Amino acid sequence: RKEVEQDPGPFNVPEGATVAFNCTYSNSASQSFFWYRQDCRKEPKLLMSVYSSGNEDGRFTAQLNRASQYISLLIRDSKLSDSATYLCVVNNAGTYKYIFGTGTRLKVLA
Amino acid sequence: DVKVTQSSRYLVKRTGEKVFLECVQDMDHENMFWYRQDPGLGLRLIYFSYDVKMKEKGDIPEGYSVSREKKERFSLILESASTNQTSMYLCASSLFGTAYTQPQHFGDGTRLSIL
């Protein structure tokens, strides 16, 4: 089983729709969680950190469910510019290692 | 804003050459990392460094070495380039976190082709 798992998609949604992705992790000692956005042939860019039970930044909401060991990303009112791959990243307590999911691809359609 | 700068966006080298990839960050971050990213495999850690002159192997260090002589600079060296090292190379840095790990910030990436 992979340490961090994401549905690769693609998720094809119309503009204005709400879409949610999940990311599951296998190590219960995982302590820090992040969502990154990566455009085609570009570097990953930090979207948001998920340190507690959840946080919100504009149209984006991230949630952490420690009991079920997953984090989620909700995007409301999708824009064409939200089309990208979304990477889930997990860090285990006491290590320098960041574990990346392989990403979920989102396509927002006009 | 954090700025992580990689020396080249695109690089073409020949098999057997010694290749240097440079990375500089301007935010006084303690931690620096080198990854490669290949389709279907995601990001894989090659090496990381948590302090000047300190380095740790990642998941795929074979064929690579690193150098960190100054806090802001972390270099990746391909000792003798091979075609299977053709990839996108990403440098990242992060601040040392006491309670929780701090997020990484990435450079633009270097697309390296070995012919």
What are the tens digits of pLDDT across the range B7-28? 999 999 999 999 999 999 999 9
**pLDDT value of position A19:** 97
Name the interface residues of B facing A (CB cutoff 8 Å). Answer: 31, 33, 40-43, 45, 48, 50, 56, 58, 88, 90, 97, 100-101, 103-109, 111
Beta partners for residue B77, in sequence order? B20, B65
Handedness of CA B49, B26, B77, B38 (dihedral sign): positive
* B103–A51 C-beta distance less than 8 A: no
Instruction: Report the pLDDT value the prediction gives residue B99, as an integer from 0 to 100.
Output: 60
- State the pLDDT at residue A51: 73
Q: How far apart are the C-alpha atoms of B59 and B39, rounded to whole Å?
A: 17
pLDDT reported for residue B26? 94
pLDDT in tens, B47-78: 999 999 899 999 999 999 999 999 999 999 99
Mean pLDDT over the full length of chain B: 93
Q: What is the pLDDT of residue A12?
A: 97
B42 and A96: CB-CB below 8 Å? no
B31: closest CA of chain A, how far (Å): 8
**Residue with more model confidence, B87 or B101:** B87
> What average pLDDT does the structure give for chain A?
93
pLDDT recorded at residue B98 = 62
pLDDT at A29 over 90: no
Question: Which pLDDT band, with edges at 50, 70 and 90, does A54 fall under?
Answer: confident
Beta carbons within 8 Å of A17's beta carbon, 6+ residues apart: A78, A108
Half-sphere exposure of B34 (CA within 13 A, CB side): 28
Q: CA of A100, closest CA in chain B: separation in Å?
A: 6
**Residue B1 pLDDT greater than 80, yes or no:** no
Cis peptide bond prior to A10, omega within 30° of 0: yes
Report residue A82 as tokens.
């939200």
Residue B86 has pLDDT above 70, yes or no: yes
The 10s digit of each residue's pLDDT in A35-44 is 999 999 899 9
Residues A57-110: tens digit of each pLDDT: 999 999 999 999 999 999 999 999 999 999 999 998 777 789 999 999 999 999
Whole-angstrom distance, CA of residue B49 vs CA of residue A75: 35
C-alpha span between B104 and B115 (Å, rounded):
31
**A43-82 residues labelled b (16+ CB within 10 A) or e (exposed):** bbebbbbbbeeeeeeeebbbbbeeeeebbbbebeebeeeb
H/E segment holding residue B46 = strand B42-51
Query: Residue B67: is it exposed, middle or buried by C-beta count within 10 angstroms (0-12/13-18/19+)?
Result: middle
Alpha carbon A19 to its chain's center: 12
